[in-house]
Protein backbone atom coordinates (compact mmCIF):
# COMPACT_ATOMS: atom_id res chain seq x y z
CA UNK A 1 0.00 0.00 0.00
CA UNK A 2 1.19 3.47 -0.92
CA UNK A 3 -0.09 6.50 0.97
CA UNK A 4 -1.36 8.79 -1.80
CA UNK A 5 -3.91 11.58 -2.09
CA UNK A 6 -6.78 11.02 -4.55
CA UNK A 7 -6.11 12.95 -7.79
CA UNK A 8 -9.05 15.35 -7.86
CA UNK A 9 -9.56 15.82 -11.60
CA UNK A 10 -9.13 12.14 -12.43
CA UNK A 11 -11.44 11.12 -9.57
CA UNK A 12 -14.29 13.43 -10.61
CA UNK A 13 -13.85 12.47 -14.27
CA UNK A 14 -13.99 8.73 -13.50
CA UNK A 15 -17.08 8.99 -11.34
CA UNK A 16 -19.10 11.15 -13.74
CA UNK A 17 -18.07 9.48 -16.99
CA UNK A 18 -18.88 5.99 -15.70
CA UNK A 19 -21.90 6.67 -13.50
CA UNK A 20 -23.87 9.22 -15.53
CA UNK A 21 -24.24 7.09 -18.72
CA UNK A 22 -25.51 4.12 -16.67
CA UNK A 23 -27.99 6.31 -14.80
CA UNK A 24 -29.18 7.90 -18.05
CA UNK A 25 -29.47 4.46 -19.64
CA UNK A 26 -31.92 3.45 -16.93
CA UNK A 27 -33.77 6.77 -17.07
CA UNK A 28 -34.19 6.62 -20.86
CA UNK A 29 -34.78 2.88 -21.16
CA UNK A 30 -31.48 2.05 -22.91
CA UNK A 31 -29.56 0.17 -20.24
CA UNK A 32 -27.28 -1.70 -22.65
CA UNK A 33 -26.20 1.55 -24.30
CA UNK A 34 -25.45 3.14 -20.93
CA UNK A 35 -23.45 0.12 -19.78
CA UNK A 36 -21.41 0.02 -23.01
CA UNK A 37 -20.55 3.70 -22.67
CA UNK A 38 -19.74 3.21 -18.99
CA UNK A 39 -17.47 0.26 -19.76
CA UNK A 40 -15.52 2.36 -22.27
CA UNK A 41 -15.02 5.03 -19.62
CA UNK A 42 -13.91 2.44 -17.04
CA UNK A 43 -11.20 1.22 -19.41
CA UNK A 44 -10.10 4.77 -20.11
CA UNK A 45 -9.96 5.45 -16.37
CA UNK A 46 -7.73 2.40 -15.89
CA UNK A 47 -5.55 3.53 -18.80
CA UNK A 48 -5.07 7.09 -17.57
CA UNK A 49 -2.03 7.58 -15.38
CA UNK A 50 -0.92 10.47 -13.23
CA UNK A 51 1.42 11.39 -16.06
CA UNK A 52 1.68 14.06 -18.76
CA UNK A 53 -1.68 14.75 -20.39
CA UNK A 54 -0.19 14.49 -23.84
CA UNK A 55 1.02 11.00 -23.01
CA UNK A 56 -2.42 10.02 -21.72
CA UNK A 57 -4.09 11.36 -24.86
CA UNK A 58 -1.71 9.41 -27.09
CA UNK A 59 -2.38 6.26 -25.09
CA UNK A 60 -6.14 6.82 -25.35
CA UNK A 61 -6.01 7.31 -29.13
CA UNK A 62 -4.12 4.05 -29.58
CA UNK A 63 -5.74 1.84 -26.95
CA UNK A 64 -9.39 2.77 -27.58
CA UNK A 65 -9.70 1.49 -31.19
CA UNK A 66 -7.79 -1.64 -30.22
CA UNK A 67 -10.12 -2.33 -27.30
CA UNK A 68 -13.18 -1.75 -29.52
CA UNK A 69 -11.99 -4.54 -31.83
CA UNK A 70 -12.93 -6.96 -29.05
CA UNK A 71 -16.62 -6.51 -29.90
CA UNK A 72 -15.98 -8.13 -33.27
CA UNK A 73 -15.79 -11.46 -31.46
CA UNK A 74 -19.32 -11.23 -30.08
CA UNK A 75 -20.84 -13.28 -32.95
CA UNK A 76 -18.15 -15.94 -32.42
CA UNK A 77 -19.91 -17.08 -29.22
CA UNK A 78 -22.04 -19.40 -31.38
CA UNK A 79 -19.00 -21.24 -32.79
CA UNK A 80 -18.24 -24.81 -31.73
CA UNK A 81 -15.72 -25.01 -28.92
CA UNK A 82 -12.64 -26.17 -30.84
CA UNK A 83 -12.76 -23.48 -33.58
CA UNK A 84 -13.52 -20.86 -30.92
CA UNK A 85 -10.53 -21.87 -28.80
CA UNK A 86 -8.18 -21.85 -31.80
CA UNK A 87 -9.50 -18.46 -32.98
CA UNK A 88 -9.15 -16.79 -29.59
CA UNK A 89 -5.72 -18.31 -28.93
CA UNK A 90 -4.46 -16.97 -32.26
CA UNK A 91 -5.91 -13.55 -31.49
CA UNK A 92 -4.34 -13.57 -28.02
CA UNK A 93 -0.96 -14.26 -29.62
CA UNK A 94 -1.36 -11.16 -31.82
CA UNK A 95 -2.44 -9.07 -28.82
CA UNK A 96 0.59 -10.27 -26.89
CA UNK A 97 2.97 -8.96 -29.55
CA UNK A 98 1.73 -5.36 -29.26
CA UNK A 99 3.34 -4.35 -25.95
CA UNK A 100 6.89 -3.57 -27.25
CA UNK A 101 5.49 -0.86 -29.51
CA UNK A 102 4.54 1.45 -26.66
CA UNK A 103 2.28 1.97 -23.68
CA UNK A 104 -0.83 2.54 -25.79
CA UNK A 105 -0.34 -0.76 -27.63
CA UNK A 106 0.38 -2.65 -24.39
CA UNK A 107 -2.76 -1.25 -22.77
CA UNK A 108 -4.83 -1.85 -25.91
CA UNK A 109 -3.61 -5.45 -26.12
CA UNK A 110 -4.79 -6.13 -22.58
CA UNK A 111 -8.11 -4.30 -22.97
CA UNK A 112 -9.04 -5.93 -26.28
CA UNK A 113 -8.78 -9.34 -24.60
CA UNK A 114 -10.98 -8.13 -21.73
CA UNK A 115 -13.60 -6.69 -24.12
CA UNK A 116 -13.48 -9.80 -26.33
CA UNK A 117 -14.02 -12.02 -23.27
CA UNK A 118 -17.06 -10.01 -22.19
CA UNK A 119 -18.41 -9.92 -25.76
CA UNK A 120 -18.21 -13.73 -25.88
CA UNK A 121 -20.26 -14.09 -22.73
CA UNK A 122 -23.02 -11.47 -22.89
CA UNK A 123 -25.96 -11.41 -25.31
CA UNK A 124 -24.90 -10.20 -28.76
CA UNK A 125 -26.70 -6.89 -29.36
CA UNK A 126 -25.00 -6.04 -32.66
CA UNK A 127 -21.31 -5.53 -33.30
CA UNK A 128 -21.56 -2.20 -35.10
CA UNK A 129 -23.81 -0.68 -32.45
CA UNK A 130 -21.60 -1.89 -29.60
CA UNK A 131 -18.46 -0.46 -31.22
CA UNK A 132 -20.21 2.84 -31.92
CA UNK A 133 -21.40 3.31 -28.34
CA UNK A 134 -18.02 2.20 -26.99
CA UNK A 135 -16.22 4.81 -29.10
CA UNK A 136 -18.75 7.44 -28.01
CA UNK A 137 -17.95 6.64 -24.38
CA UNK A 138 -14.23 7.00 -25.03
CA UNK A 139 -14.90 10.33 -26.77
CA UNK A 140 -16.84 11.59 -23.76
CA UNK A 141 -13.92 10.67 -21.53
CA UNK A 142 -11.46 12.34 -23.91
CA UNK A 143 -13.53 15.55 -23.78
CA UNK A 144 -13.39 15.48 -19.98
CA UNK A 145 -9.60 15.01 -20.15
CA UNK A 146 -9.33 17.97 -22.52
CA UNK A 147 -11.26 20.17 -20.09
CA UNK A 148 -8.85 19.19 -17.32
CA UNK A 149 -5.86 19.78 -19.59
CA UNK A 150 -6.73 23.15 -21.07
CA UNK A 151 -8.86 24.72 -18.33
CA UNK A 152 -8.17 23.29 -14.87
CA UNK A 153 -4.47 22.53 -14.70
CA UNK A 154 -2.45 22.81 -17.90
CA UNK A 155 0.89 22.69 -16.07
CA UNK A 156 0.19 19.49 -14.09
CA UNK A 157 2.79 17.24 -15.78
CA UNK A 158 5.65 19.69 -15.30
CA UNK A 159 4.57 20.50 -11.75
CA UNK A 160 4.56 16.83 -10.71
CA UNK A 161 7.99 16.21 -12.20
CA UNK A 162 9.56 19.34 -10.74
CA UNK A 163 8.09 18.71 -7.30
CA UNK A 164 9.86 15.35 -7.19
CA UNK A 165 13.02 16.98 -8.53
CA UNK A 166 12.95 19.63 -5.79
CA UNK A 167 12.83 16.93 -3.14
CA UNK A 168 15.81 14.92 -4.38
CA UNK A 169 17.91 18.02 -5.05
CA UNK A 170 17.26 19.28 -1.52
CA UNK A 171 18.24 15.88 -0.12
CA UNK A 172 21.45 15.88 -2.15
CA UNK A 173 22.41 19.37 -1.05
CA UNK A 174 21.69 18.56 2.59
CA UNK A 175 23.50 15.19 2.69
CA UNK A 176 25.66 14.55 -0.38
CA UNK A 177 26.26 10.88 -1.05
CA UNK A 178 25.92 8.08 -3.62
CA UNK A 179 22.35 7.22 -2.56
CA UNK A 180 21.25 10.85 -2.87
CA UNK A 181 22.92 11.17 -6.27
CA UNK A 182 21.25 7.96 -7.44
CA UNK A 183 17.82 9.25 -6.38
CA UNK A 184 18.51 12.54 -8.13
CA UNK A 185 19.44 10.79 -11.36
CA UNK A 186 16.22 8.74 -11.23
CA UNK A 187 14.14 11.92 -10.76
CA UNK A 188 16.01 13.63 -13.59
CA UNK A 189 15.29 10.67 -15.87
CA UNK A 190 11.58 10.93 -15.03
CA UNK A 191 11.60 14.70 -15.62
CA UNK A 192 13.23 14.27 -19.02
CA UNK A 193 10.51 11.80 -20.03
CA UNK A 194 7.85 14.51 -19.76
CA UNK A 195 6.97 15.29 -23.40
CA UNK A 196 6.62 18.85 -24.63
CA UNK A 197 3.08 20.18 -25.15
CA UNK A 198 3.30 19.74 -28.90
CA UNK A 199 -0.21 21.03 -29.62
CA UNK A 200 0.66 24.64 -28.80
CA UNK A 201 2.88 26.89 -30.90
CA UNK A 202 2.14 30.11 -29.04
CA UNK A 203 4.91 32.25 -27.60
CA UNK A 204 3.57 31.60 -24.11
CA UNK A 205 3.60 27.84 -24.68
CA UNK A 206 7.16 27.85 -25.99
CA UNK A 207 8.27 30.06 -23.08
CA UNK A 208 6.60 27.79 -20.55
CA UNK A 209 8.22 24.67 -21.97
CA UNK A 210 11.56 26.44 -22.30
CA UNK A 211 11.38 27.42 -18.64
CA UNK A 212 10.66 23.82 -17.68
CA UNK A 213 13.60 22.50 -19.70
CA UNK A 214 15.82 25.15 -18.12
CA UNK A 215 14.92 23.90 -14.62
CA UNK A 216 15.67 20.29 -15.54
CA UNK A 217 18.99 21.22 -17.12
CA UNK A 218 19.95 23.42 -14.16
CA UNK A 219 19.18 20.54 -11.80
CA UNK A 220 21.17 18.14 -13.95
CA UNK A 221 24.12 20.53 -13.98
CA UNK A 222 23.89 21.03 -10.22
CA UNK A 223 23.74 17.30 -9.44
CA UNK A 224 26.69 16.53 -11.71
CA UNK A 225 28.95 19.34 -10.51
CA UNK A 226 28.13 19.03 -6.80
CA UNK A 227 29.13 15.37 -6.92
CA UNK A 228 32.32 15.99 -8.87
CA UNK A 229 33.46 18.96 -6.79
CA UNK A 230 32.74 17.31 -3.46
CA UNK A 231 31.74 20.70 -2.08
CA UNK A 232 28.97 23.26 -2.35
CA UNK A 233 28.64 24.92 -5.75
CA UNK A 234 27.03 28.28 -5.02
CA UNK A 235 26.88 29.41 -8.63
CA UNK A 236 24.93 26.37 -9.80
CA UNK A 237 22.65 26.43 -6.78
CA UNK A 238 21.75 29.99 -7.64
CA UNK A 239 21.21 29.03 -11.29
CA UNK A 240 18.77 26.31 -10.20
CA UNK A 241 16.83 28.72 -7.98
CA UNK A 242 16.67 31.27 -10.81
CA UNK A 243 15.43 28.66 -13.26
CA UNK A 244 12.79 27.52 -10.78
CA UNK A 245 11.58 31.09 -10.35
CA UNK A 246 11.49 31.51 -14.11
CA UNK A 247 9.27 28.44 -14.47
CA UNK A 248 6.86 29.78 -11.87
CA UNK A 249 6.42 32.86 -14.07
CA UNK A 250 6.45 30.92 -17.38
CA UNK A 251 9.63 32.68 -18.46
CA UNK A 252 12.39 31.01 -20.47
CA UNK A 253 15.90 32.30 -19.68
CA UNK A 254 17.12 34.90 -22.10
CA UNK A 255 14.15 34.44 -24.41
CA UNK A 256 15.73 31.32 -25.94
CA UNK A 257 13.63 28.87 -27.87
CA UNK A 258 12.85 25.63 -26.09
CA UNK A 259 14.76 23.53 -28.61
CA UNK A 260 17.95 25.43 -27.79
CA UNK A 261 17.82 24.71 -24.08
CA UNK A 262 18.58 21.01 -23.93
CA UNK A 263 21.61 19.17 -25.31
CA UNK A 264 20.54 16.69 -27.99
CA UNK A 265 20.03 13.15 -26.74
CA UNK A 266 21.50 10.30 -28.79
CA UNK A 267 19.11 9.66 -31.66
CA UNK A 268 17.53 6.26 -32.25
CA UNK A 269 19.39 3.90 -34.51
CA UNK A 270 17.59 3.42 -37.83
CA UNK A 271 16.35 -0.15 -38.14
CA UNK A 272 14.51 -1.99 -40.92
CA UNK A 273 10.76 -2.15 -40.54
CA UNK A 274 10.98 -5.91 -40.04
CA UNK A 275 12.99 -5.37 -36.84
CA UNK A 276 10.67 -2.59 -35.66
CA UNK A 277 7.37 -4.42 -36.14
CA UNK A 278 8.04 -8.14 -36.19
CA UNK A 279 8.19 -9.53 -32.62
CA UNK A 280 11.54 -10.63 -31.27
CA UNK A 281 12.16 -13.99 -29.61
CA UNK A 282 11.28 -12.77 -26.10
CA UNK A 283 8.03 -11.19 -27.28
CA UNK A 284 7.09 -14.29 -29.26
CA UNK A 285 7.72 -16.46 -26.22
CA UNK A 286 5.46 -14.35 -24.01
CA UNK A 287 2.79 -14.12 -26.71
CA UNK A 288 2.90 -17.91 -27.00
CA UNK A 289 2.34 -18.31 -23.26
CA UNK A 290 -0.52 -15.82 -23.41
CA UNK A 291 -2.09 -17.66 -26.37
CA UNK A 292 -1.84 -21.01 -24.57
CA UNK A 293 -3.39 -19.66 -21.37
CA UNK A 294 -6.11 -17.72 -23.18
CA UNK A 295 -7.04 -20.76 -25.27
CA UNK A 296 -7.29 -22.90 -22.12
CA UNK A 297 -9.36 -20.17 -20.47
CA UNK A 298 -11.80 -20.01 -23.41
CA UNK A 299 -12.10 -23.80 -23.29
CA UNK A 300 -13.46 -23.38 -19.74
CA UNK A 301 -16.83 -22.71 -21.36
CA UNK A 302 -17.13 -26.50 -21.60
CA UNK A 303 -15.79 -27.58 -18.22
CA UNK A 304 -16.01 -24.80 -15.63
CA UNK A 305 -19.80 -25.10 -15.30
CA UNK A 306 -20.59 -21.37 -15.07
CA UNK A 307 -22.86 -19.33 -17.29
CA UNK A 308 -20.45 -16.43 -16.68
CA UNK A 309 -17.41 -18.50 -17.67
CA UNK A 310 -15.99 -15.54 -19.62
CA UNK A 311 -14.39 -14.14 -16.45
CA UNK A 312 -11.80 -16.90 -16.81
CA UNK A 313 -10.27 -15.57 -20.08
CA UNK A 314 -10.83 -12.01 -18.84
CA UNK A 315 -8.63 -12.78 -15.83
CA UNK A 316 -5.92 -14.29 -18.04
CA UNK A 317 -5.87 -11.18 -20.24
CA UNK A 318 -5.69 -8.84 -17.24
CA UNK A 319 -2.90 -10.72 -15.47
CA UNK A 320 -0.66 -12.07 -18.22
CA UNK A 321 -0.40 -9.12 -20.59
CA UNK A 322 3.26 -7.97 -20.45
CA UNK A 323 4.63 -4.70 -19.04
CA UNK A 324 2.15 -4.39 -16.19
CA UNK A 325 4.03 -5.98 -13.30
CA UNK A 326 4.71 -9.26 -11.52
CA UNK A 327 2.73 -12.18 -12.95
CA UNK A 328 2.59 -14.11 -9.68
CA UNK A 329 1.83 -11.01 -7.64
CA UNK A 330 -0.91 -9.91 -10.01
CA UNK A 331 -2.49 -13.37 -10.11
CA UNK A 332 -2.66 -13.66 -6.33
CA UNK A 333 -3.75 -10.08 -5.74
CA UNK A 334 -6.28 -10.24 -8.58
CA UNK A 335 -8.01 -13.17 -6.85
CA UNK A 336 -7.88 -11.46 -3.45
CA UNK A 337 -9.14 -8.17 -4.88
CA UNK A 338 -11.91 -9.91 -6.81
CA UNK A 339 -13.18 -11.59 -3.65
CA UNK A 340 -13.43 -8.22 -1.89
CA UNK A 341 -14.78 -6.45 -4.98
CA UNK A 342 -17.42 -9.11 -5.54
CA UNK A 343 -18.52 -8.81 -1.92
CA UNK A 344 -18.82 -5.05 -2.35
CA UNK A 345 -20.80 -5.46 -5.58
CA UNK A 346 -23.09 -8.03 -3.94
CA UNK A 347 -23.81 -5.63 -1.11
CA UNK A 348 -24.64 -2.85 -3.58
CA UNK A 349 -26.90 -5.12 -5.65
CA UNK A 350 -28.71 -6.17 -2.45
CA UNK A 351 -29.11 -2.64 -1.10
CA UNK A 352 -29.75 -0.62 -4.30
CA UNK A 353 -32.70 -1.47 -6.57
CA UNK A 354 -32.25 -1.51 -10.33
CA UNK A 355 -32.55 1.96 -11.78
CA UNK A 356 -30.81 5.30 -11.60
CA UNK A 357 -29.49 4.40 -8.14
CA UNK A 358 -27.29 1.70 -9.70
CA UNK A 359 -25.73 4.33 -11.95
CA UNK A 360 -24.97 6.52 -8.92
CA UNK A 361 -23.47 3.57 -7.05
CA UNK A 362 -21.34 2.55 -10.03
CA UNK A 363 -20.10 6.13 -10.39
CA UNK A 364 -19.13 6.35 -6.72
CA UNK A 365 -17.13 3.11 -6.88
CA UNK A 366 -15.53 4.10 -10.20
CA UNK A 367 -14.42 7.37 -8.62
CA UNK A 368 -12.15 5.39 -6.30
CA UNK A 369 -10.20 3.77 -9.18
CA UNK A 370 -7.69 6.63 -9.70
CA UNK A 371 -6.72 6.51 -6.03
CA UNK A 372 -6.80 2.71 -5.89
CA UNK A 373 -4.43 2.43 -8.88
CA UNK A 374 -1.78 4.41 -7.03
CA UNK A 375 -2.42 2.84 -3.62
CA UNK A 376 -1.89 -0.82 -4.59
CA UNK A 377 -2.75 -3.41 -7.20
CA UNK A 378 -5.09 -5.22 -4.81
CA UNK A 379 -7.11 -2.04 -4.19
CA UNK A 380 -7.32 -1.47 -7.95
CA UNK A 381 -8.56 -5.05 -8.30
CA UNK A 382 -11.23 -4.45 -5.66
CA UNK A 383 -12.57 -1.32 -7.36
CA UNK A 384 -12.35 -2.70 -10.90
CA UNK A 385 -13.99 -6.02 -9.98
CA UNK A 386 -16.88 -4.24 -8.30
CA UNK A 387 -17.46 -1.80 -11.15
CA UNK A 388 -17.32 -4.32 -13.99
CA UNK A 389 -19.45 -6.83 -12.08
CA UNK A 390 -22.08 -4.17 -11.48
CA UNK A 391 -22.02 -3.18 -15.16
CA UNK A 392 -22.24 -6.73 -16.50
CA UNK A 393 -25.03 -7.63 -14.08
CA UNK A 394 -27.22 -4.97 -15.72
CA UNK A 395 -27.10 -6.67 -19.14
CA UNK A 396 -26.37 -10.33 -18.31
CA UNK A 397 -27.62 -11.39 -14.85
CA UNK A 398 -26.47 -14.78 -13.61
CA UNK A 399 -28.90 -17.62 -14.37
CA UNK A 400 -27.10 -20.56 -12.75
CA UNK A 401 -27.26 -21.90 -9.22
CA UNK A 402 -24.44 -19.54 -8.18
CA UNK A 403 -24.95 -15.80 -8.06
CA UNK A 404 -22.86 -13.41 -10.13
CA UNK A 405 -20.40 -12.47 -7.32
CA UNK A 406 -19.72 -16.14 -6.54
CA UNK A 407 -19.24 -16.93 -10.22
CA UNK A 408 -16.85 -14.01 -10.59
CA UNK A 409 -14.69 -15.21 -7.68
CA UNK A 410 -14.61 -18.81 -8.87
CA UNK A 411 -13.83 -17.86 -12.48
CA UNK A 412 -11.08 -15.48 -11.36
CA UNK A 413 -9.51 -18.22 -9.25
CA UNK A 414 -9.56 -20.60 -12.22
CA UNK A 415 -8.03 -17.95 -14.49
CA UNK A 416 -5.34 -17.17 -11.92
CA UNK A 417 -4.49 -20.88 -11.61
CA UNK A 418 -4.16 -21.20 -15.39
CA UNK A 419 -1.78 -18.24 -15.47
CA UNK A 420 0.37 -19.52 -12.60
CA UNK A 421 0.74 -23.03 -13.99
CA UNK A 422 0.72 -22.66 -17.78
CA UNK A 423 1.97 -19.09 -18.04
CA UNK A 424 4.67 -19.11 -15.40
CA UNK A 425 5.71 -22.30 -13.59
CA UNK A 426 6.29 -24.54 -16.62
CA UNK A 427 8.41 -21.94 -18.46
CA UNK A 428 11.91 -21.29 -17.06
CA UNK A 429 12.35 -18.24 -19.32
CA UNK A 430 9.36 -16.56 -17.64
CA UNK A 431 11.28 -16.55 -14.37
CA UNK A 432 14.32 -14.62 -15.57
CA UNK A 433 15.07 -10.90 -15.59
CA UNK A 434 15.53 -9.22 -18.98
CA UNK A 435 17.35 -5.87 -18.78
CA UNK A 436 19.94 -6.37 -21.50
CA UNK A 437 18.56 -3.52 -23.61
CA UNK A 438 18.87 -0.75 -20.99
CA UNK A 439 22.23 -2.08 -19.80
CA UNK A 440 23.64 -2.07 -23.34
CA UNK A 441 22.37 1.47 -23.89
CA UNK A 442 23.85 2.66 -20.57
CA UNK A 443 27.31 1.16 -21.06
CA UNK A 444 27.42 2.35 -24.67
CA UNK A 445 26.66 5.91 -23.56
CA UNK A 446 29.29 5.67 -20.80
CA UNK A 447 31.87 4.53 -23.35
CA UNK A 448 31.02 7.60 -25.44
CA UNK A 449 31.52 9.78 -22.36
CA UNK A 450 34.91 8.19 -21.65
CA UNK A 451 36.05 8.80 -25.23
CA UNK A 452 34.76 12.38 -25.19
CA UNK A 453 36.50 13.10 -21.90
CA UNK A 454 39.78 11.83 -23.39
CA UNK A 455 39.65 14.43 -26.16
CA UNK A 456 41.53 17.70 -25.56
CA UNK A 457 39.36 20.55 -24.39
CA UNK A 458 39.27 22.89 -27.42
CA UNK A 459 40.06 26.56 -27.15
CA UNK A 460 37.22 27.77 -29.38
CA UNK A 461 33.89 28.57 -27.75
CA UNK A 462 31.82 26.76 -30.42
CA UNK A 463 33.98 23.65 -30.25
CA UNK A 464 33.82 23.64 -26.45
CA UNK A 465 30.03 23.89 -26.62
CA UNK A 466 29.84 20.94 -29.05
CA UNK A 467 32.11 18.84 -26.86
CA UNK A 468 30.05 19.67 -23.77
CA UNK A 469 26.77 18.86 -25.56
CA UNK A 470 28.10 15.43 -26.56
CA UNK A 471 29.35 14.70 -23.05
CA UNK A 472 26.17 15.89 -21.32
CA UNK A 473 23.93 13.95 -23.72
CA UNK A 474 25.96 10.77 -23.15
CA UNK A 475 25.86 11.19 -19.38
CA UNK A 476 22.12 11.81 -19.35
CA UNK A 477 21.46 8.90 -21.67
CA UNK A 478 23.49 6.56 -19.43
CA UNK A 479 21.70 7.52 -16.22
CA UNK A 480 18.30 7.49 -17.92
CA UNK A 481 18.93 3.95 -19.20
CA UNK A 482 20.04 2.79 -15.76
CA UNK A 483 16.94 4.32 -14.21
CA UNK A 484 14.76 2.38 -16.67
CA UNK A 485 16.06 -0.92 -15.24
CA UNK A 486 14.36 -0.21 -11.91
CA UNK A 487 10.88 -1.15 -13.17
CA UNK A 488 11.63 -4.69 -14.45
CA UNK A 489 13.86 -5.34 -11.44
CA UNK A 490 11.11 -4.27 -9.02
CA UNK A 491 8.61 -6.50 -10.83
CA UNK A 492 10.92 -9.52 -10.76
CA UNK A 493 11.70 -8.92 -7.07
CA UNK A 494 8.03 -9.62 -6.32
CA UNK A 495 8.21 -13.07 -7.93
CA UNK A 496 9.22 -16.29 -6.16
CA UNK A 497 12.76 -17.61 -6.76
CA UNK A 498 14.56 -17.86 -9.09
CA UNK A 499 13.18 -14.59 -10.49
CA UNK A 500 13.57 -12.67 -7.22
CA UNK A 501 17.08 -14.08 -6.70
CA UNK A 502 18.05 -13.10 -10.22
CA UNK A 503 16.58 -9.62 -9.68
CA UNK A 504 18.57 -9.14 -6.48
CA UNK A 505 21.81 -10.05 -8.27
CA UNK A 506 21.07 -7.69 -11.14
CA UNK A 507 20.10 -4.91 -8.74
CA UNK A 508 23.59 -5.11 -7.22
CA UNK A 509 25.11 -5.13 -10.71
CA UNK A 510 23.09 -2.08 -11.78
CA UNK A 511 24.19 -0.30 -8.61
CA UNK A 512 27.82 -1.01 -9.46
CA UNK A 513 27.36 0.28 -13.02
CA UNK A 514 25.67 3.39 -11.64
CA UNK A 515 28.66 4.00 -9.34
CA UNK A 516 30.92 3.55 -12.36
CA UNK A 517 28.80 6.10 -14.25
CA UNK A 518 29.25 8.60 -11.41
CA UNK A 519 33.03 8.08 -11.51
CA UNK A 520 33.12 8.60 -15.29
CA UNK A 521 30.92 11.70 -14.99
CA UNK A 522 33.10 13.16 -12.24
CA UNK A 523 36.25 12.61 -14.31
CA UNK A 524 34.65 14.20 -17.40
CA UNK A 525 33.82 17.30 -15.36
CA UNK A 526 37.28 17.41 -13.80
CA UNK A 527 38.75 17.44 -17.31
CA UNK A 528 37.27 20.91 -17.83
CA UNK A 529 39.41 22.13 -14.96
CA UNK A 530 42.62 20.90 -16.55
CA UNK A 531 42.86 17.35 -15.20
CA UNK A 532 44.74 15.16 -17.71
CA UNK A 533 42.91 12.33 -19.50
CA UNK A 534 42.96 8.82 -18.08
CA UNK A 535 45.75 6.56 -19.35
CA UNK A 536 44.44 3.99 -21.83
CA UNK A 537 41.10 5.74 -22.31
CA UNK A 538 40.37 3.82 -25.51
CA UNK A 539 40.88 0.45 -23.85
CA UNK A 540 38.88 1.65 -20.84
CA UNK A 541 35.96 2.72 -23.04
CA UNK A 542 35.96 -0.69 -24.75
CA UNK A 543 35.89 -2.44 -21.36
CA UNK A 544 32.99 -0.26 -20.19
CA UNK A 545 31.05 -0.96 -23.37
CA UNK A 546 31.65 -4.69 -22.96
CA UNK A 547 29.75 -4.71 -19.67
CA UNK A 548 26.50 -4.38 -21.62
CA UNK A 549 27.16 -7.67 -23.42
CA UNK A 550 27.85 -9.64 -20.24
CA UNK A 551 24.98 -11.86 -19.12
CA UNK A 552 26.29 -12.78 -15.66
CA UNK A 553 25.31 -10.14 -13.05
CA UNK A 554 28.12 -11.17 -10.69
CA UNK A 555 30.68 -10.57 -13.44
CA UNK A 556 29.10 -7.23 -14.34
CA UNK A 557 29.19 -6.14 -10.70
CA UNK A 558 32.83 -7.19 -10.19
CA UNK A 559 34.09 -5.61 -13.41
CA UNK A 560 32.11 -2.39 -12.91
CA UNK A 561 33.55 -1.98 -9.41
CA UNK A 562 37.05 -2.67 -10.71
CA UNK A 563 36.70 -0.10 -13.50
CA UNK A 564 35.24 2.43 -11.07
CA UNK A 565 38.16 1.99 -8.66
CA UNK A 566 40.59 2.37 -11.55
CA UNK A 567 39.00 5.64 -12.69
CA UNK A 568 38.85 7.05 -9.17
CA UNK A 569 42.43 6.12 -8.32
CA UNK A 570 43.86 7.45 -11.56
CA UNK A 571 41.82 10.63 -11.25
CA UNK A 572 43.14 11.11 -7.70
CA UNK A 573 46.71 10.64 -8.91
CA UNK A 574 46.15 13.20 -11.67
Q: CA triplet 86, 400, 369: central angle to 5 degrees? A: 75
Q: How far apart are the C-alpha atoms of 408 and 173, rounded to whole Å?
A: 52
d(CA 510, CA 235): 32
pLDDT at 402 over 80: no
pLDDT (0 to 100) of residue 175: 84
Residue 24 pLDDT exceeds 70: yes
Q: Residues 384-394: pLDDT tens digits?
A: 999 999 998 88
Q: What share of the chain is helix, strand, coil (3-state, %, to 5)?
A: 80, 0, 20
- Residue 322's pLDDT band, with cuts at 50, 70 and 90, is low
Number of Cβ within 10 Å of residue 159's Cβ equals: 13
Burial class (CB in 10 A: 0-12, 13-18, 19+), 518: buried
Report CA torsion sign: 328, 405, 134, 7: negative
Instruction: Report the distance separating Cα 218 and Cα 229, nearest Å.
Output: 16
Nearest CA to 223 out of 170, 261, 169 is that of 169
pLDDT confidence of residue 271: 53
Mean per-residue pLDDT over the chain, rounded: 84
Given a cut of 70, whether residue 503 has pLDDT beyond it is yes
Task: Identify which has the larger pLDDT, 266 or 436.
Answer: 436
Distances (CA, A) of 336 to 65, 110, 333: 31, 20, 5
> Is the confidence at residue 258, as pLDDT, over 60?
no
Count, in order, helices (H) and strands (E) of the chain.
Answer: 24, 0
pLDDT tens digit string along 465-478? 888 888 888 999 99
Calpha distance 418→438 (Å, rounded): 31
Which residues touch 113 (CB under 8 Å, ≥6 apart)? 70, 92, 95, 294, 313, 314, 316, 317, 318, 321
**What percentage of the chain carries pLDDT values higher than 70?**
87
> What is the pLDDT averaged over residues 301-317?
90
Q: What is the pLDDT of residues 411-463, one digit of tens each?
A: 999 999 998 899 888 877 666 777 788 889 899 999 999 999 888 888 888 88
Residue 90 has pLDDT above 90, yes or no: yes
Listing DSSP states for 252-309 in one string gives -GGG--GGGSSPPPPPPPP--HHHHHS--HHHHHHHHHHHHHHHHHHHHHHHS--TTT
Amino acid sequence: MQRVAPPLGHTVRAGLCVGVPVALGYALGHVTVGVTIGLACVLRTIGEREAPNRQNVTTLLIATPLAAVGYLFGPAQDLPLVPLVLLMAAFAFVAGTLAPHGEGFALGGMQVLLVASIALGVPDTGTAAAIGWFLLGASIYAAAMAFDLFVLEPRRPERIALSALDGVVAALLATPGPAQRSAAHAALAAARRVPSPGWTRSDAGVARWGAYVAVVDAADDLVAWEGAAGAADGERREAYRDARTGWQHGRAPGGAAAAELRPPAPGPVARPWTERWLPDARTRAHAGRLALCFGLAVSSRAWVGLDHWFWVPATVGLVLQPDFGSVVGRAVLRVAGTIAGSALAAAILWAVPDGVGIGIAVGLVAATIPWAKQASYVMQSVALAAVILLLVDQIAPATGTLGLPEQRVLATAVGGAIVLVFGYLVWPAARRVAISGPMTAATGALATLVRTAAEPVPAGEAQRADRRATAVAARQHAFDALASTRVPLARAAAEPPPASTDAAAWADAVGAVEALAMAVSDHAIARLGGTPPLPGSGELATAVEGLGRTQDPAVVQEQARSLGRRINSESDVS
